[in-house]
Every structure is written in structure tokens, then in C-alpha cells.
Amino acid sequence: MTRLAVLSDVHANSPALRAVIEDVRARRADAVAYLGDIVFRGPDPGGCIEQLATLEPVVWIRGNTDEWYLPDAPEREVAGYVAFGLRRLTRPQRVFISQLPTRAVTRLDGTSVLCVHGSPRRPDENLFPDTPLEEPLAGVTEDVVACGHTHLPVVREAGGVVVFNVGSVGTPFDGDPRASYGMLTTSGEGVDVEIVRVAYDASETVRLAREAGMPHAGLYERAVREGIPAFG
């Protein structure tokens, strides 16, 4: 039996990530996969990269918003968040992000897992709980598609493929402010997937945002305290 912890969408919320890392270690996960979007919008992008690296992920892919921080990325203005984040990343960290793949496959006990950010087709494609899956899954031969991007955790099945959206560590959008990640357990008899929710101290995240002069800190506070997409 092998347990794979699947994390996504930390969005620079280091207190949330720290709580999830503690939970992953307490559950004795055998390996970790990270599905992208680690730096955009939150107060501590560089710190989150360092924290996640301590888990030595077997999969670490680049999400759609990670693209905005690459060394050769064109200037992009998203309510001041990109410029804010760039000031908190070192050039080696930006180079590291640029070298990450946009998809990866890992195999556990005979189960194949396709790791993507949004969908098997595009990092920025939303697979919502009610999105038809036939076209996005066309050509997929793996047993499980692990994804994030929507910040809405859900487990679905289509054509024999399990679609496992693990939600967001840093900014859930389902009205539950607790950090969300996934645990995938494989054995010779099959695969089991679980959405895990972890409480953390959102006040610390809010404090970090305000002390750093993060844009739209009031809206960001509402987002992390209520688990909703309230941003500038």
C-alpha cells in the first residue's frame, strides 16, 4: 500500500501550507505531488517554495499563474499582485519555477496517475464539479487524473478514469476556509481517494499580508477567512 499526498494551489499562503505539511507528515504519506500555482497573490511566495521543497515532491508541476513569474515573462498587471510577488522571489526561485514541467505521470502499485494543473488539455482549463468530462479526458490512458486550479475539491469518474480535484491549500473557494488537499492510497486491489481538510490560523496569514503591504489586503482577508474568491 502506498499513500500519495496531492497538494495544489498554495498561492503563497505559508501558514496554510505549514499546517498541511504537518498533517501530511502525521499521516505518514509515502510521497507528495504538487500540482502548481504556488506564488500568485498571497503574502509569502518565496517562503512557500522553501517549505514545499522540504517535502521533496516526486511530482512538482507549474500552474498557469506560476507562468507570470518566470524570468522572461512579459509584464502582467493583476491588481498589483504580480509586482508584489516578484519583489518576494529571488531570481533562482523564478528560474526554478521556469524549469518545472506542466504535467507529469507517476505510478504507484500498478496505478497510473496523470498530474496536471487545470485539465489534461490545458493548465488554465477549469474542471468544475459539473463540467462534462468526455472531451477533456479524450486520449487519457491513466487510471487517475489529479488536478486543482478551480479551488473546488471533488472526486468524479468518467470512462473508467477517476478525476481527483484536490482543491486549494491556500485559498479554497467552496465556502470552507480550511486548507484542502488530497490523499491517494493505492494497493494491488485498486485506488482510494480522499479529500482532507486542515484548519490553520488565518489570522497569521492576514497579519503577514498586512505587514508586507499586500494589495487589497482587506479583500484577501475575507477570502482566507470565508473560503470564497473575494479579491481585487
Q: Rounded distance, CA 98 to CA 221, Å?
A: 29
Question: Tens digit of pLDDT for each residue in 133-184?
Answer: 999 999 999 999 999 999 999 999 999 999 999 999 999 999 999 999 999 9
Strand partners of residue 197: 180
Long-range Cβ contacts of 117-122 (<8 Å, 24+ apart): 117/8, 117/35, 117/36, 117/37, 117/61, 117/62, 117/63, 117/64, 117/147, 117/148, 117/149, 118/63, 118/64, 118/147, 118/148, 118/149, 118/150, 119/145, 119/147, 119/149, 120/145
- The Cα 113–Cα 111 span in angstroms is 7
In terms of DSSP H, where are the helices of the chain? 14-26, 45-53, 81-86, 91-98, 202-211, 217-226
DSSP, residue by residue, 72-114? TPPP--STTHHHHHHTTS-HHHHHHHHTS-SEEEEEETTEEEE
**Is residue 232 very low, low, confident or very high in pLDDT (cuts 50, 70, 90)?**
low
Report which of 1, 67, 12, 56 is spatially closest to residue 34, judged by C-alpha positions: 56
Q: 94 - beta bridge partners?
A: none
Q: Residue 113's Cα: distance from chain center in Å? A: 16
Answer positive or negative: Cα dihedral of 18, 21, 27, 33. Answer: positive
Share of the chain above pLDDT 70, in %: 100
CB atoms within 10 A of CB 91: 8
pTM: 0.96
Walk me through the domains of the chain, giving residue ranges and CATH numbers: 2-226 (3.60.21.10)
Considering only 11-20, 75-84, 96-105, which range has the smallest mean pLDDT? 75-84
Whole-number pLDDT of residue 189:
77
Task: Determine the angle formed by the axes of helices 91-98 and 45-53, rounding to 10 degrees.
Answer: 60
The C-alpha cell at 84 is: 508584489
